Amino acid sequence: MEFDFDTPIDRAGTWASRWERYAGRDVIPLWVADTDFRAPPAVLEAFAARVTHGVFGYSAPPDALRTAIVERMQRLYRWAIEPSWIVFLPGVVPGLHLAARYLCAPDEHVLVPTPIYQHFKRAVQLAPREHDDIPLILDGGRWVFDEAALESALRPNSKLLFLCNPQNPGGTIFTRAELTRLAAFAERHDLVICSDEIHADLLMDEGKPHLPIASLAPEVSRRTVTLMSPNKTFNFPGAGVAFAIIEDPKLRVAFSADHHATLHDASVFGYIGALAAYRDGQDWLDAQLAYLRANRDLVEAMVADTPRLVMAHTEATYLAWIDASALGVEDPCAHFLAHGVALSPGAQFGSPPFVRLNFGTQRVRLVEALERMRRAAMGSDPCG
């Protein structure tokens, strides 16, 4: 089947966070991480069938979805999980907050490798829990863990290690060797790992597989909470569904302590979308990945061709992490916005001189945005 990722879709008036902020202005918004693509036909058909049915009452997570997730983990990662290990959530973000509050006591400490998606930090700040940021380092053009810095950030009360794999905003797919060393570090210091793997399907480099850290070995699985969701892969985050995979019953009970206190179930449309996407969305996903890979190549080519902009290769996610420090402007995001492109400020992730660009949009828009950015970068030439 042919899928159309090229025809621009007007999202005005749909309450889209990314588009509403700049409504009515000549600004191409490439900030919040959703895409401008319609969800797969299989998902749209499943939504439509439920709308036709017309009743949207309280809903229990379908067994069929648990089965689909178990089969998916086995097929993609040879990871044998039990249906009972799955805890459904309305989103991955609530899972990060649950982890900070319930997997770590008030007097315990959290390790947060940064830059990182802002809700990891929000989670430890709001819980609140003592934490340390451990900056990733560039090694061979990839953002990886600074293993020595992780060791030195440890405290006697360190309990939780936050992991974002694939990494947002760095775009890294961590290798088996890197994850094995990280898991051994967690084992040595008896840390619980909370691994956000929402970008697991958004692999831009063919031949570099995603590995859930919990799938490495049973002893790693027993100390890990893995957070996943079809929200981002199939672009229906507004429908709200995610899940945690937690083997250890004690961790699972602790993590679920808030259930129905402040946290609602996933939405019925989340369950419907997830089931349809996992059962029948693979062709669409393959086509989307091909499209996104070509977009990624365009972004990297523009950056390579523009003095004063630098980026590491994006192995995964549809997000480009661009170092704009050489522009010599105080606020790179404001600079690009003044030239008609809205990006996410690096400060949001812990690195102010950077900007993050979402290339999950129609190519014609992306090309225009990249031209504007190039002009913005050239115009900032400190030498004239």
Ligand X SMILES: Cc1ncc(COP(=O)(O)O)c(C=O)c1O
Residues of this chain that interact with ligand X (CB under 6 A) are: 33, 91-93, 117, 164, 168, 196, 198, 229, 231, 237, 242
CB of residue 299 to ligand X, shortest distance in Å: 17
CB of 236 vs ligand X, minimal distance in Å: 10
242-246 and 310-311 beta bridge pairing: unpaired
| Residue nearer to ligand X on the CB measure, 306 or 344 | 344
Residue 333 beta carbon to ligand X: minimum distance, rounded to whole angstroms: 17
301 vs 92: CA distance, rounded Å: 32
For ligand X, the closer of residues 154 and 289 by Cβ is: 289
Residue (20 or 371) nearer to ligand X, CB: 20
3 state SS of 263: strand
CB nearer to ligand X: give 33 or 268: 33
State the residue number with the nearest CB to ligand X. 91
Tokens of 28: 């191409």
Which of 169, 167, 176 is closest to 209 using CA atoms?
Answer: 176
- Euclidean distance between CA atoms 303 and 375, whole angstroms: 12
Task: State how far the Cα of 141 lies from the Cα of 92, in Å rounded to an integer.
Answer: 28
Nearest approach, Cβ of 72 to ligand X (angstroms)? Answer: 17
For residue 166, say if its preceding peptide bond is cis, omega within 30 degrees of 0.
yes
Strands 354-358 and 344-345: antiparallel
Residue 348 CB neighbour total at 10 angstroms: 18
Q: Which is nearer to ligand X, 359 or 377 (CB)?
A: 359
Looking at the Cβ atoms of 92 and 376, the one nearer to ligand X is 92
Closest distance between ligand X and the C-beta of residue 96, in Å?
Answer: 7
| DSSP label of 307 | T
Residue with tokens 């989340």: 270
Give 40 or 95: the residue with its C-beta nearer to ligand X.
95
Q: Is the dihedral of CA 122, 128, 133, 136 positive or negative?
A: negative
What distances in angstroms separate CA 192 from CA 47, 260, 376, one per listed residue?
Answer: 37, 24, 44
The minimum distance between CB 377 and ligand X, in angstroms, equals 25
As measured in angstroms, the least distance from the Cβ of 232 to ligand X is: 6
The residue (of 39 and 376) whose beta carbon lies closer to ligand X is 39
CA gap 148, 252 in Å, rounded: 31
* Beta carbon of residue 93, minimum distance to ligand X (angstroms, whole number): 4
